Structure 1
């Protein structure tokens, strides 16, 4: 049985375990950033598919970014408009980003603040986490506690008494992903937030 209370889940993160909790899109697999390789191993995920950093506040994510004051102003403008929400920003990474999060391009990092009370409460306690959708690489995201527990028995899954074990958690739609380039914003994936940049 890998379902745990929120308190046990937060303790699990601190002790280096991979955990799963609901977000506004699909349930996440999450771990401390320096242990990101554990998620790649669990998901059988190729190194060409990076993880993203999730946090409860923009301030917590700033140390992981590397840009000029003008660029930062641009990034904060779009972040403040859509966060918390289903928008992932891919930005230039600082030296604080472990190469295990984005093995093929350690110069960029995806970041997001989810619009989910449960996720935000957990992130306030754990700090920044490396995250991805709960699924095996190339397969559809798992949307229920039951499915996540079955496929990833070693992962600590949040037991939410308000959610039935076979009830989907989140919208089921992926986040929209945009990347900052020298030419400005570029949409990499149009997801649940519709952007016109």
Structure 2
């Protein structure tokens, strides 16, 4: 792994805003990230099917609330307060530019605040980022910085290294259903009390 590809949070935030992708740690698995307006490159880099949405990761609740484009229901806020920062992705009804960038043609958006302090520092500088696991589509997810860099040579990594140790299991994905209840789309690293896979 080239040391010149390891980039501090302020410099990496500037590169992200300039349109570059980046590799970042999270509390679950390393992620490939870009700003929402430059998210299209993530599908290309991963060779990922266009119908598989990306997740919007933020440092705090407020920017994610704004990105949703809708008023937050009390149930959503309650789940966010229990599970964030942490290994839970909430898929919520949404509208506006973030949905068009991360889940084109759909009406929902996956949101997460990771329990990884160095990445939340970056997210405060860059704003919320479109993210996906750091692997070529169909291949096992990278679990280390070195494995992520090997998948995507030339893509800058958030420094410093080594990254904080990750859990190695993808986040749980919960979706808010039309019936007004949570549905487990993917059982992962964290399952909120009272929910079953």
TM-score (norm 1): 0.90
- Unmatched runs of 5 consecutive residues or more in structure 1: none
Q: CA deviation at 1:50?
A: 0.4
Provide the rounded CA distance (Å) in 2 between the counterparts of 1:79 and 1:146: 31
Residue 10 of structure 2 contacts residue 125 of structure 2 at CA under 8 Å; is this kept in 1?
Answer: no
Q: Provide the residue aligned with 1:135 in structure 2.
A: 135
Tell me the distance in 2 between the aligned counterparts of 1:34 and 1:106.
Answer: 16
Change (3 A) 1:118 1:74: same
Are 1:82 and 2:83 an aligned pair? yes
- Identify the match of residue 42 of structure 1 among 37, 41, 45: 45
Distance 1:80 1:45 in 2: 32
**CA–CA separation in structure 2 for the residues paired with 1:50 and 1:80:** 24
Deviation by residue 1:103-161 (Cα, 9 ceiling, x = unmatched): 3x421100000011111111111111111110111111112222222221131112324
Provide structure 2 residue ranges, at least 5 long, that are not aligned to the other structure.
none
Aligned equivalents of 2:106, 2:10: Cα separation in 1: 32
* Map of 2:27 onto structure 1: 24
Q: Does 1:173 align with 2:175?
A: no
Aligned residue pairs: how many? 190
In 1, Cα distance between the equivalents of 2:157 and 2:69?
33
Moved more, 71-80 or 152-161: 152-161
Structure 1 vs Structure 2 CA RMSD: 1.7
Distance 2:81 2:41 in 1: 31
Contact 1:56–1:124 (Cα < 8 Å) also in 2: yes
Note if contact 1:177-1:188 (Cα within 8 Å) is conserved in structure 2. Answer: yes
Is residue 11 of structure 1 aligned with residue 14 of structure 2?
yes
Structure 2 CA distance for partners of 1:118 and 1:50, relative to 1, 3 Å? same
Q: Secondary structure at the match of 1:50?
A: coil
TM-score, with length taken from structure 2: 0.90
Q: Secondary structure at the match of 2:150?
A: helix
